Copies of this chain bind each other. A is one copy, B any other.
Amino acid sequence: MSPSPRVCAVIMAGGSGTRFWPLSRKSRPKQFLPIAGRKTMIEETVARLRPLLPFGAIYTVSNKAQAVAIRKLVPELKADNILVEPFGRNTAASLILATARVYLRDRRTVVFALPADHLITRPARFIRKLRAAAAAAAKMDVIVTFGIPPAYPSTGFGYIHYSGRKREKIGGEAFYPVLRFKEKPKLAQAKRFLAQGNHSWNSGMFIWRADVFAQKLEEYAPDFFPYWQRILKALEKESQSGVAAVFREIPATSIDYALMERAKGVLMVEGDFDWSDVGSWGSLADIWPRDEAGNALRGKGQFIDSRDCLVYSPRRLTAVVGLKDVIVVDTEDALLVCDKKADQRVKDVIEKLKKKGKERIL
């Protein structure tokens, strides 16, 4: 058996989601909230990796204010590993910056590129999969991605169409050649994907050796490769202004769009570790413990003749009477009462409040 590859994780913590308003705010996005468990999602993401990685092998990438928050939440992280983006430019830029940093230390290190705000409730299995993915990425000069077995025909995720023919078995796991990354589908199309099989949800988690990332950029994302080269140079010179100059120019594009959808030779391994992107308040109904009537409560609540509701009310008592599938989120200065089926429309609240100039509560 080959020796363990050198590995590290890059946690993408720069998101600024609005779907958990009013608990999440511009200044306090989802990954900084204790929304799924007792700790913030960023803390849980770090903790989940610790069986595999020392703190020195865990990086984060985010904006400056978030970096300050991360240092407070996880003081064990090395200051050098908390990477700061001079501007928010989506995940392609984040991962070019972070992978370049890793590359300059050791170009054959395997990078786990992981969102800070996902939930995984089978962490031991997750670690096993990461080990296998690292072994595959180290050995085969490929990019590996986790494909989530689709639970229903979601229109909220991108899909990965993969070949059913097993490419290879490594570390006890099967790796499948990715045929195509597909954008979020309409419902009919999503249903076809599920009926057809060999389609999984795109988890947004990717595994690559730093040098393989560079090769793949050069080959499949030639429009992004020059930014990579310039970032490398700026980091070598420790020039913050050089990094800023690149960020000023680089298109704000996801890594999916910039690289994954274009690259050949991507392998998928099944991410069957009870994953959730915790995409909206309604998704928490499957995560928080529920009482016999299906009501989920964080904080103080009293349900009367109500079913399948979700209440977040840490400060004051919330009484819910005669309702079904209603979400209540109580914060100090704003309150959300929302039908579970309409939880994607929380962003409309934000839009309306923006138009009214109510920036203070966004």
Interface set of A (CB-CB < 8 Å, partner B): 21-22, 302, 304-305, 313, 316-323, 326, 328, 330-339, 341-343, 345-346, 348-349, 352-353, 358, 361
- Which of B333, B337, B339, B343 makes the CB contact (< 8 A) with A316? B333
Residues of B within 8 A of A349 (CB): 302, 304, 319, 321
- Which of B326, B330, B342, B352 makes the CB contact (< 8 A) with A302? B352
Can you name the residue of chain B whose Cβ is closest to the Cβ of A349? B319
| Other contacts beyond A304-B352, A305-B342, A322-B345: 8, CB < 8 A | A302-B352, A304-B348, A316-B333, A319-B334, A319-B336, A320-B338, A322-B338, A335-B335
Complex CA gap A115/B341 in Å reads 44
Can you name the residue of chain B whose Cβ is closest to the Cβ of A333? B316
Residues of B within 8 A of A305 (CB): 342, 345, 348
Can you name the residue of chain B whose Cβ is closest to the Cβ of A330? B335
Residues of B within 8 A of A332 (CB): 316
Task: Pull 18 A–B residue pairs with CB atoms less than 8 Å apart, ordered by A.
Answer: A302-B349, A304-B345, A318-B335, A318-B337, A319-B334, A319-B335, A319-B336, A319-B337, A320-B337, A320-B338, A321-B336, A321-B337, A321-B343, A322-B339, A322-B341, A323-B339, A326-B326, A326-B337
Residues of B within 8 A of A361 (CB): 317
